[in-house]
């Protein structure tokens, strides 16, 4: 399979509830794209981050979507995701997320990025990384 056949990779993060993560993403300027209710709450949303995207889906919504699937193939629980997001201005992200839980203080990495990691309100780990401009 050649590289040109891959068009996009979008993680779907399974959570107990979606509403708690929306303010976290709104703080960094992300927009809600698709929003699908499930019962009286949100069951699915896509979060647009410029050219990047992350999706959140509730356990109940996943169970409804996969009712005909092999139940041994997935764990019907919220699962912790680890997201790595490259940004143009890390200081801006840090300013916008002031007061949010930091799990990884700002650091310089051996691969050249400056990073800070946060825990989103659903318990997922989100690292924002800024790389120096290409020479």
- What are the DSSP calls for 71-93, one per residue? GGGS--S----EEEEE-S-HHHH
Enumerate domains of the chain plus CATH numbers.
3-69+76-130 (3.10.180.10)
| Lowest mean pLDDT segment, chosen from 32-46, 54-68, 119-133 | 54-68
Q: How many CB atoms lie within 10 A of CB 45?
A: 21
> For the sheet containing 41-49, what is the strand order?
12-15, 52-58, 41-49, 31-38
Q: 2-26 pLDDT, tens per residue?
A: 566 777 889 999 999 999 999 999 9
pLDDT exceeds 60 at position 1 = no
The fraction of the chain above a pLDDT of 70, given in percent, is 96
Question: What is the value of pTM for the model shown?
Answer: 0.87
Is the pLDDT score of 114 beyond 90? yes
Q: What is the pLDDT of residues 69-84, one digit of tens each?
A: 777 777 767 788 999 9
């Amino acid at each position: 399979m050649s590289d040109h056949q891959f068009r996009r990779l979008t993680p779907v993060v399974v959570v107990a509830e979606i509403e708690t993560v929306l303010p976290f993403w709104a703080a960094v300027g992300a927009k809600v794209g698709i929003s699908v209710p499930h019962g009286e709450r949100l069951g699915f949303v896509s979060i647009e981050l410029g050219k990047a995207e992350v999706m959140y889906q509730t356990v109940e919504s996943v169970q409804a979507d996969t009712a005909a699937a092999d139940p041994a193939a997935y764990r019907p629980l919220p699962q912790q995701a680890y997201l790595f997001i490259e940004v143009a201005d890390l200081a801006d992200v840090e300013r916008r997320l002031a007061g949010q839980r930091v799990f990884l203080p700002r650091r310089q990495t051996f691969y050249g990025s400056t990073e800070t990691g946060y825990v989103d309100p659903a318990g997922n780990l989100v690292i924002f990384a800024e790389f120096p401009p290409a020479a």
